[in-house]
Amino acid sequence: MALPISVAENVLQIQINMLAWALGAGKEATHAKLTDYYGTDKEDIYEWCENVTRTVNANRWQDERIHVLVGVYLKEVAADFYEENRGTFTQWTGGVTSSNLKKGLIKRFASAATKDTWYADYLNCNQGLTETIKGYTN
């Protein structure tokens, strides 16, 4: 029994879509854009690095190119740091710590002053006597 034309067309379109997806699954893309990082005290290097990981996954960036692609989004002081150490960094994560761009950025931009500020914020974070847990966590 033959399928009606509309059903057969739908099945064919689904197969075409699946094939197109499979052929493009390994290609790099730019679905998500990473925000620029300037290396200022107001920026959180840990949060920015988490955003890098999400962007890398969304865009399917190849491991051996991540550290180069991330360099494009470093500006001002952060860009200067990257340029001064460009030959040292050969990967975004993993391997030897000295060749790891993520650890290099964290070591350079998570300064003692920034860590002191974060610690002070942590110490001053208290739940009010009448505040609910839900209100406190929001």
pLDDT, tens digit, for every residue of 88-115?
898 898 777 788 999 999 999 987 777 7
- Whether residue 49 is contained in a domain is answered as yes
Query: Greater confidence, 46 or 128?
Result: 46
* Single pTM value for the model: 0.64
- Whether residue 54 is contained in a domain is answered as yes
- Whether residue 59 is contained in a domain is answered as yes
Query: Greater confidence, 41 or 55?
Result: 55
**Cβ–Cβ < 8 Å for 65, 27:** no
- Whether residue 118 is contained in a domain is answered as no
The range of the structural domain enclosing residue 74 comes to 29-110
- Of 15-19, 20-24, 105-109, the range with the lowest mean pLDDT is 20-24
Looking at the 3D structure of the chain, how many domains does it have? 1
- Whether residue 1 is contained in a domain is answered as no
- Whether residue 65 is contained in a domain is answered as yes
Average pLDDT across the chain, whole number: 82
User: E strand or H helix at 137, and its extent?
Assistant: helix 133-137
Q: What is the mean pLDDT of residues 61-68?
A: 85
Q: How far is CA 118 from CA 44, 89, 104, 112, 113, in A?
A: 10, 28, 20, 10, 9
